[in-house]
Amino acid sequence: MVEAIDAPLPPTSTTPQVQDISLHGDDPPPRYIVRELPDLSPPSTTIPIIDLSRLLSGDEDGGREELGELKAALTSWGCFQLIGHGIPGELLDEVQVSAKQFFRLPSEEKQMCFRPEDDVEGYGNDPILSDKQILDWSDRLLLKLVPEDTRKLHLWPTNPTQFREVVSGYSDELKRIVEALMKAMARCVGLEEDCFLKQYGGKEMMMSRFNHYPVCPRPDVVLGVKAHSDGSGVTVLLQDDKVEGLQILKEGRWYGVPIIPHALVVNVGDQMQIMSNGIFKSPMHRAAVSATRERYSLAVFHLPDPEVEIGPAQDLVTKELPQQYRNLKNYSAINFDCFQKGEIALDSVKI
């Protein structure tokens, strides 16, 4: 199942906050019980580690070697841990602390950030799209970061007071990093470095999703986020610095992603799988929860403006690898449509 979460979508109704259910320590209501039960201690694995500072060292040996590693990561796992990214550790800590402080406020104090009925942005949990929908054991805060002039600041927390400044600072850093990564992604498959970025037509969007996974007395029957691939071009995830939970599917097996302090987990999204003509993999992933420790994470989805058409880079379309996906606009809307029908969005745009 693919979640439709990373861009503005039509209005939906809401459910109670998981934080409030969790406070009572009750067993999860039936709507949260997943069919495919989570593995609470999957084998932990070292997903590839990419050093951005080495990547940016150009044609020197280190740079070339790292570019090869990047290609291997994108074509096998579809994700990697990014180190050497240049974001000060203190800023990453401040982002974590600010998010935790916000989520830990009592519901009444988060009121001003509540997602309006007709919006996807704001604080809340799963929008209910159908009676059969299984809900995630998480509360979220969704905020668009870029373009800056479309930020809905009235939904941005004012408590804690540093939230806005810290998140804006993080957003600036991510813009720089994702741009550098997208250039390297193009170079690693022999394309001009601006090949993927050009498809965005200078109009990029960054949507943040702060995730809070409260403790659950039955972590064996719920998921913080059900299995999904991201509908983004690229996603950058700041994992909780103490509590693990992220799992990635590879060749039919789930693997736990260990925490590397101050590393960012980068994963290919569906739109990058499309632009790379299927060469890069948009991995299925999910998040398990814990009976004793709450968990936090921050996913930032980098994606093209919905008005801009994207498609497989023509230089990656060959006789051996014909065009795999059709050109399209507004993948988020396609994703949303498929989600409602229980279909996989990537399959629906496959040629």
Binding mask 230-259 for ligand AKG (x = CB under 6 A): x------x-x-----xx-------------
* 67 vs 120 by CB, closer to ligand AKG: 120
DSSP labels for 1-29? -----SS-----B----HHHHHHTTPPPP
Q: Choose between 230 and 244: whose C-beta lies nearer to Fe ion.
A: 230
Q: Total binding residues for ligand AKG by CB under 6 A?
A: 12
Amino acid type, 161: T
Under the criterion CB under 5 A, does residue 126 sit at the interface with Fe ion?
A: no
Kindly tell me which of 137 and 280 has the beta carbon lying closer to ligand AKG: 137
Side-chain half-sphere exposure of 239, counting CA atoms within 13 A = 25
CB-CB contact of 236 with 170 (8 Å): no
Q: Tell whether residue 299 is a contact of ligand AKG (CB under 6 A).
A: yes
Residue 229 within binding range of ligand AKG, rule CB under 6 A: no
Among 285, 316, 338, 345, binds ligand AKG (CB under 6 A): 285
| Segment (H or E) for 205 | strand 204-213
The total of other beta-carbon atoms located within 10 Å of residue 166's CB is 20
Gap between the Cα atoms of 232 and 268, Å rounded: 8
Reduced to 3 states, what is the DSSP secondary structure of residue 82?
Answer: strand
- CA distance from start to end of the chain: 20
Site string for ligand AKG, 159-198 (x = CB under 6 A): ----------------------------------------
The single residue among 230, 240, 244, 270 that binds Fe ion, judged by CB under 5 A, is: 230
The answer to the question of residue 47 lying near ligand AKG (CB under 6 A) is no
Cβ–Cβ < 8 Å for 43, 247: no
Give φ, ψ of 323 to 5 degrees: -60, 125
Report if residue 136 touches Fe ion, rule: CB under 5 A. Answer: no
For binding to Fe ion (CB under 5 A), which residues are involved? 230
For binding to ligand AKG (CB under 6 A), which residues are involved? 209, 211, 225, 230, 237, 239, 245-246, 285, 287, 297, 299
